[in-house]
Structure 1
Amino acid sequence: MDATAVEDVAARWVAAWTTGRTSALFSLLAAGARVESNLDPDGDFIEKLTGYAAGLTSVSVFSRTVIDQRVALVYDCAVDAEQFRLAEFLVVTESGLIAEVRRVYDLYAIERLMPDLLLET
């Protein structure tokens, strides 16, 4: 899979989670995809992801790096006037599905600005 195709998968992933389209998220994940997150690592990843998106005032991609089938994304996120960052790392398969997602949230910002997200089960 070439870099353009990998970038397209990443762009569809970003569009899906930032708009809360869970069916699109599931359609992009490979069977048995490995997911890691520092936000409730034992919970439902898709539920947390869409809950996070719903709580944001805005989100945009600050930086995107594609190397082979790996994508590193850094997002500028905001709740009201306060901005903070989120880092995400994707591994895309040859068939165009996401085999691995790793997310690193700013837990300090979430605790202050979105405390209900930490309480969800």
Structure 2
Amino acid sequence: MDIAVEDVTARWVRAWTTGRTTDLFKLLAAAPAIETNLDPDGDFIELLTDYAAAVESVTVFSQTVLDRRAALVYDCTLSGETFRLAEFLTVNDVGLVTEVRRVYDLNAIERLMPHLLLEH
């Protein structure tokens, strides 16, 4: 069974932006490779849901899919300011995310959400 990467990324975006941790766990492979520039040693799922709860809105600005990889750029808004988050996913042929790389705008987080730097 070959699951479309676009479908998996749509479910992934819906899950993390709405804080549905159960859905996130269902989408992650058993031992995913995870890289992030915000608390690389912290709990990844907790960080995703805390970030989503802290911002006012998240929309996908751009999505590119090539083979089993997806690159997403999000527009995030808080206190009238829009800033970006980049995410790179690798999806296996059964529809599980095997690799996640996230690049947060640390300047925006330090300025608008400093609690995320302290909590994690």
Instruction: Mark yes or no: TM-score above 0.5.
Output: yes
TM-score grouping bracket, smaller chain normalisation: over 0.9
Alignment partners' CA distance in 2, 1:65 and 1:87: 12
Residue 38 (structure 1) aligns with:
37
Residue 9 (structure 1) aligns with:
8
Alignment partners' CA distance in 2, 1:77 and 1:54: 11
Q: What secondary structure, in the 3-state scheme, does the structure 2 residue paired with 1:59 have?
A: strand
Q: Deviations over 1:56-108 (max 9, x none)?
A: 01110000000000000000001120000000000000111000000000000
Q: What secondary structure, in the 3-state scheme, does the structure 2 residue paired with 1:52 have?
A: helix
Give aligned-pair identity as a percent.
70
Residue 22 (structure 1) aligns with:
21
Letter in 2 for 1:119: L
Q: Deviations over 1:31-52 (max 9, x none)?
A: 0011110000000000011000
RMSD: 0.8
Alignment partners' CA distance in 2, 1:7 and 1:109: 28
Alignment partners' CA distance in 2, 1:43 and 1:96: 25
Q: How many pairs are equivalent?
A: 119
Alignment partners' CA distance in 2, 1:80 and 1:25: 27
Which blocks of at least 5 consecutive residues in structure 1 are unaligned?
Answer: none
Question: Runs of 4 or more off by more than 6 Å in structure 1?
Answer: none
Which blocks of at least 5 consecutive residues in structure 2 are unaligned?
Answer: none
Q: What secondary structure, in the 3-state scheme, does the structure 2 residue paired with 1:34 have?
A: strand
Q: Output the TM-score relative to the length of structure 2.
A: 0.97
Q: Output the TM-score relative to the length of structure 1.
A: 0.96
Letter in 1 for 2:96: L
1:89 aligns with 2:91: no
Letter in 1 for 2:19: G
